[in-house]
Amino acid sequence: MTSPAPSTMPSFEQLGLPDSLLSMLSEVGYEIPSPIQAACIPYLLAGRDLLGEAQTGTGKTAAFALPTLAKLDLSNMRPQVLVLTPTRELALQVSEAFTKYAHHLQNFHVLPIYGGQSMVVQLRQLSRGAQVIVGTPGRIMDHLERKSLKLDALTMLVLDEADEMLRMGFIDDVEWILEHTPSTRQTALFSATMPATIREVARRHLREPEEVRIRTATSTVEKIRQRYWLVRGVDKLDALTRILDAEEKLDAALVFVRTKIGTEELADKLAARGYAAAALNGDMTQSLRERVIEQLKNGSLDIVIATDVAARGIDVPRISHVINYDIPYDTEAYVHRIGRTGRAGREGVAILFVAPRERRMLKSIEHATRQQIEPIALPSREDVSSLRVSQFKQKVLDTLADPDMELGFFMSVVEELVEENDLSSRELAAALAYLVQAGRPLQIEEEGRGWDQATALHTQGKPLREDIFTTGAPRSRTGRRDANAIPAKVFDNGKVQRYWIAVGRDHGVMPKDIVGAIINESGIEGRSIGQIDLFDDFSTVELPAQLPDDLLNVLRGVVVRSQRLNIRPVRDDENLPVRRPQNRDDPRRDKKPSKPWEKKSGEKRFARSGDFRPPRRDDARQSERRSFADKGKVSGWKKRRGHE
């Protein structure tokens, strides 16, 4: 069968998932199941085998992870579920997804197992036990042969990206593994394409499988000009604002994201940058939603950030642009989204953000809409700044030329100001222009500082964290001893710990962004930040061990490349590999894993192990100053506080 149409999509409750998973889903902001989830979850819960044709981005991981979690026996530590993936990146991603979805499940353990990882560590982890194993075929075979992995309690086997496993030459290993698992198991096979070999594997190893396919009905979208931007280098929020600024004939824009939380976060960030933007999602009351749509119609809002569900049926002729900030789950959702523009005989523009991993969905969309989608280059910051300047000049000239604008009264106020304060009219005009544009600067931040203004929201009004780095009793910003601040001894043990953060290569992050955000938001100085390893959608960073909870809370909320860091210590059983940055310019590239207490040339400090002293307050100040100076320009944060 194919997936259900969005209009008939059931809720997660209707799919029969248990309460523990439903509450987690609402916390992570998933509004409704994606088509592949709606189609697969009931079959998997019912114990049926499944053949799913679905690619990355369709939500297939949750499609098998949620029913799998619903059926686990958490009191049993033997492997009950095995997921085979072609690459270790995917193994890590799938493990991460399981950990996220199992948030409310006590005693849940998932273990990623892949080649290149230390055998000794893996053997130790396997001996401790885990209900879910996610691994690459070669290494799983090794463990089965050594008998360090026993699958006699296995109830479920998932083959993820089976066509990739075929392409990479793993299909024989996969079959070998299938033959060494209990024949009573349930099996789900997911593949973006269904070549004959995969069908043959399914025929041999799946029992009367249900077939699920994401529909790719072709549709005509003639009045809509479709374009895409390949997400790279610049963060998505930065790219979005440049597009909003530079697009010609942009009247109103509907921006699509995947989660309810995503709508609010993005609307807040755009509003903080001076755009008339609001969220539209299923958590809002009907009357609130109607108000947002009314405001979009009458022009008091220009940008609405919506989920697919909330935007259903919107008919606002002034929507000139639909921006797919998060890629849709399938082509049908895409066609539905972009149909919100090009209404009432007008021309519409659709822009799609595509991460490198999501290119296949781009191809499917081109196929479904029978149109080639053109790539766009982002306008540079200079282009956007000069555009803003010329728009500003034009606004001033229009005001002067408009006979309806009664400027007489203001003329006299201006003359008074000039005379009373001995000002030049240039100075006065510049001050007024500044006031007018304060919420939306004409000059925008330089590269790599996309997080800057967003994170400023977190720091406004709060003291910087430098006071916790003093030796002895902590001081407040005024220099007084502050009994409430956290004593510095928490850093005295000199130990380093690896922390997980929710921003990775796919978000376009560079190590310098992470370092900059940590320094500026927490006051931790640069030298206390150790190795950074970048993965696709997360990274790890070494920091002093046992960071105090309130500092972690601050860091958790820090936004880098539009992602909240959600920092947490890496658990021992995660066994994440080390991944050096490839960027030649990165100062950490050739550095050994940094230990703050190790002596560096020209430095007297941290001479030997155990000599790690907490950075001093002055150090934090210095590094803060340095980091601003390094950028050659003060940040939006500073600008707003001090108008420097």
Which spans of this chain sit near ligand AMP (rule: CB under 6 A)? Answer: 30, 33-34, 37, 56-62, 258-259
The structure tokens listed for 9 are 């999509």
Q: Please report how close the Cβ of residue 313 comes to ligand AMP at its closest, in angstroms.
A: 19
Give the count of beta carbons closer than 10 Å to the beta carbon of residue 405. 11
How far apart CA 580 and CA 593 sit, in angstroms, is 10
Whichever of 237 and 252 has its CB closer to ligand AMP, that residue is: 237
- Torsion angle, CA of 27/33/39/42, rounded to 10 degrees? 30
The structure tokens listed for 243 are 């597009």
Q: Please report how close the Cβ of residue 21 comes to ligand AMP at its closest, in angstroms.
A: 12
Whichever of 58 and 540 has its CB closer to ligand AMP, that residue is: 58
Whichever of 110 and 444 has its CB closer to ligand AMP, that residue is: 110
Orientation angle between helical segments 119-128 and 137-146, nearest 10 degrees: 70
Q: Please report how close the Cβ of residue 543 comes to ligand AMP at its closest, in angstroms.
A: 26
Torsion angles phi and psi, residue 60, rounded to 5: -70, -30
Whichever of 62 and 154 has its CB closer to ligand AMP, that residue is: 62
Whichever of 60 and 236 has its CB closer to ligand AMP, that residue is: 60
Which residue type is seen at 123? L
Q: Please report how close the Cβ of residue 30 comes to ligand AMP at its closest, in angstroms.
A: 4
Q: Please report how close the Cβ of residue 378 comes to ligand AMP at its closest, in angstroms.
A: 23
Q: Please report how close the Cβ of residue 28 comes to ligand AMP at its closest, in angstroms.
A: 7
Whichever of 258 and 561 has its CB closer to ligand AMP, that residue is: 258
User: In the chain, how many H helices and how many E strands?
Assistant: 23, 20
Q: Please report how close the Cβ of residue 152 comes to ligand AMP at its closest, in angstroms.
A: 29
Q: Please report how close the Cβ of residue 10 comes to ligand AMP at its closest, in angstroms.
A: 12
Q: Do residues 318 and 252 touch, judged by C-beta distance below 8 A?
A: yes
Query: What is the DSSP code (8-state) at residue 99?
Result: H
How far apart CA 443 and CA 450 sit, in angstroms, is 13
Whichever of 61 and 187 has its CB closer to ligand AMP, that residue is: 61
- Stated as kind and residue range, the H or E segment containing 189 is strand 186-191
Q: Do residues 513 and 481 touch, judged by C-beta distance below 8 A?
A: no
CA angle 594, 596, 598 (to 5 degrees): 80
Tell me the CB-side half-sphere exposure of residue 465, using CA atoms within 13 A: 25
Q: How far is CA 10 from CA 107, 288, 312, 337, 436, in A?
A: 30, 24, 15, 19, 48
Q: Which of 287, 280, 347, 348 is nearest to 314 (CA)?
A: 280
Adjacent-strand bridge partners of 540? 500, 533
- Torsion angle, CA of 589/512/475/462, rounded to 10 degrees? -160
Q: Please report how close the Cβ of residue 135 comes to ligand AMP at its closest, in angstroms.
A: 18
Whichever of 40 and 444 has its CB closer to ligand AMP, that residue is: 40
Q: Do residues 101 and 69 touch, judged by C-beta distance below 8 A?
A: yes
How far apart CA 132 and CA 356 sit, in angstroms, is 28
Whichever of 3 and 56 has its CB closer to ligand AMP, that residue is: 56
* Residues sharing a CB contact under 8 Å with residue 394, sequence separation 6 or more, in sequence order: none
Q: Please report how close the Cβ of residue 56 comes to ligand AMP at its closest, in angstroms.
A: 5
Q: Please report how close the Cβ of residue 535 comes to ligand AMP at its closest, in angstroms.
A: 14
Adjacent-strand bridge partners of 113? 135
Whichever of 225 and 564 has its CB closer to ligand AMP, that residue is: 564
Whichever of 157 and 620 has its CB closer to ligand AMP, that residue is: 157
How far apart CA 44 and CA 409 sit, in angstroms, is 73
